[in-house]
Amino acid sequence: MNIENKLQQAVAEAVEKLYGQAVSPESIQVNVTRKDQNGDYTVVVFPLLKISKKAPDATSAEIGEYIIGNVKEVASYEAVKGFLNLTLSKVYWAEILNAAAADDKYGFIEAAPDAPLVMIEYSSPNTNKPLHLGHIRNNLLGFSLSRLISVRGNKVVKTNIVNDRGIHICKSMLAWKKWGNGATPESTGMKGDHLVGDYYVRFDKEYKAELKALQAKGMTEEEAEAASPLMAEAREMLVKWEAGDPEVRQLWSMMNSWVYAGFDETYKLLGVDFDKIYYESNTYKEGKELVLKGLEEGKFYRESDGSVWADLTNEGLDKKILLRKDGTSVYMTQDIGTAKLRFRDFPINKMIYVVGNEQNYHFQVLSILLDRIGFEWGKSLVHYSYGMVELPEGKMKSREGTVVDADDLVGDMINTAREMGKELGKLDGYSEAEAEEVYRTLALGALKYFILKVDPKKTMTFNPKESIDFNGNTGPFVQYAYARIKSVLRKAQDNGFEIPSQCAPDSLDGKEIQLLRLIEQFPATVAEAGDVYSPALIANFAYDLAKEYNQFYHDYPILREEDSTKRANRLLLSRVVAQVIKNAMWLLGIDVPERM
């Protein structure tokens, strides 16, 4: 039982003993005390006045006296109108410090052998373009979520579904075939995903020019789209692909292999990975089989043109196409097939899809369809819906080639970190290789932190320059606080100062206890972040802890402290703060430099 639950229990007992009425502990409001008030925890007494039938201060004082006599962790109280501020003992805070010092995984719960299995899907790229800034947010959220859920006592499987077939893939294939002149990653010196992406953009450019020419001949926009020879060729290529045409399949395999190699480089650069990768080219067949079986069983229906649909009007939605009139699949078909293969491969207890909020309707439909087909977890699947990433200039568009490429962005971030590092002189005396490693760590920390500190549900604007600042709520600010602590600990070792394993309670002071209040809250913050799927809670906790330590470092001598007991306490506290910062940043997928 944590201290907040213990205080709730004690207040409930006090109310029953003092006023003769039982209340549930869960109904008692216990909050962390505001910084402008004395105390560590505050009990909101107002709701209890109708039971005590006494004035706020009198009720607070009576409950406070009961708690002092029955909860050994509480040293004193202060009644402030309808609030009861409780101050915990130094012994309690010493125990918090000792517990954190003894456990490198403080705040984490290890998965038991029979723990639930949570599968998390993220990334989900298309093989017609490289990863961009929107994919970065998806990958970072998914990877961080996998860590958050794993330290809540769950087993986790990280999966990716690669959308490697469909009309959009055929567009880039057709454009390369028409205008590529045999270009390869080797002949052009380009990453494969970038090369293929350029031909996707080329298709759109040629298609728009074709539509413009057709409209100039008197066609409407709709007529021009229907008459477009280029689009007809792309659709024909998709039909041939699904029929297994050898030439189309060979072209598809070659271009996809270029893209996969490019994706792997970007994933490695971002520091994300997967336990299992599925490919739409395999799963869509499974989906078609399930849809056709559902058609036979009357779960779906066929239109007069041959297309297959699901009627969702009884669920308050509309009708959803599952197979086109030419028999080709849609995204929904693929997702149904992927679900079947995943359920076959793993004993899934919960399935989480990390996909942007523009797909909210898609997953609402998918949940209903999976349940209708017979998947036990269909209704309980989680769509981890997040907001889009925009730039100060506005939205990005893949077809028009106006996206921010992931590789280019990371490269620019590393260059910015290098420029700022040299300007500030923080890495003077480092070898070039050492400095480059720190620049890379800072750049990725800045990028990941800036994206993950925002509530996932919100649309966000990414500002590279702002993200890499060493001041304010940024990754480098937290990373630098960690490096500063590690420097203090190295100097302590050089001076022969030992760091104890236990704290001396009587020597704890105000700022130290403020730090310990935050450390005490880390397990609860991890629990909440895992339960509500919010890495932002961890990011902002890390910032608060780093900021509080910087103030402590400024106000209190550590190595220069003459009192050996106080110095030992502060060194132990510093080591624990560093470990908690490192753990918090690990949950975000961010490395911390040992020195800067």
pLDDT digits (tens, 9 = 90+) for 444-487: 999 999 999 999 999 998 887 788 888 889 999 999 999 999 99
From-to residues of CATH 3.40.50.620 in the chain:
122-390
In tens, the pLDDT along 148-174 reads 999 999 999 999 999 998 899 999 999
pLDDT at 587 over 50: yes
For the record, the structure tokens of 91 come out as: 């012994």
Residues with Cβ within 8 Å of residue 429, at least 6 apart in sequence: none
> What's residue 494's pLDDT?
95
The span from the CA of 431 to the CA of 427, in Å, is: 9
The answer to whether residues 141 and 452 touch, using CB atoms and an 8 Å cutoff, is yes
pLDDT band at 557 (very low <50, low <70, confident <90, very high): very high
- Look at residues 129, 125, 117 and name the one whose alpha carbon lies nearest to residue 278: 125
In tens, the pLDDT along 14-45 reads 999 999 999 999 999 999 999 889 999 999 99
> What's residue 322's pLDDT?
95
Give 406-587's CATH code, choosing from 3.40.50.150, 3.30.420.40, 1.10.730.10, 2.40.50.140: 1.10.730.10
Alpha helices in 217-320 (DSSP H): 221-227, 229-242, 246-270, 280-296
Domain 122-390 matching CATH 3.20.20.105: the answer reads: no
User: Which SS3 state, helix, strand or coil, does residue 405 take?
Assistant: strand
Task: Report which residue type is found at 446.
Answer: A
From-to residues of CATH 1.10.730.10 in the chain:
406-587
In tens, the pLDDT along 258-272 reads 999 999 999 999 999
- Look at residues 553, 538, 389, 418 and name the one whose alpha carbon lies nearest to residue 473: 538
In tens, the pLDDT along 82-128 reads 899 999 999 999 999 999 999 999 999 999 999 999 999 999 999 99
For the record, the structure tokens of 524 come out as: 């609860």
- Which one-letter DSSP state was computed for residue 352? E
For the record, the structure tokens of 554 come out as: 């400024």
pLDDT band at 393 (very low <50, low <70, confident <90, very high): low
Q: What φ, ψ does residue 31 adopt, rounded to 5°?
A: -125, 160
pLDDT at 399 over 60: no
| CATH class name, domain 3-88 | alpha beta
Average pLDDT of the chain to the nearest whole number: 93
- Percent helix, strand and coil across the chain, each rounded to 5? 60, 10, 30
Place of tokens 């990958």: 139
The span from the CA of 579 to the CA of 537, in Å, is: 18
Can you give the pTM of this predicted structure? 0.91
- Looking at the DSSP bridge assignments, the partners of residue 217 are none
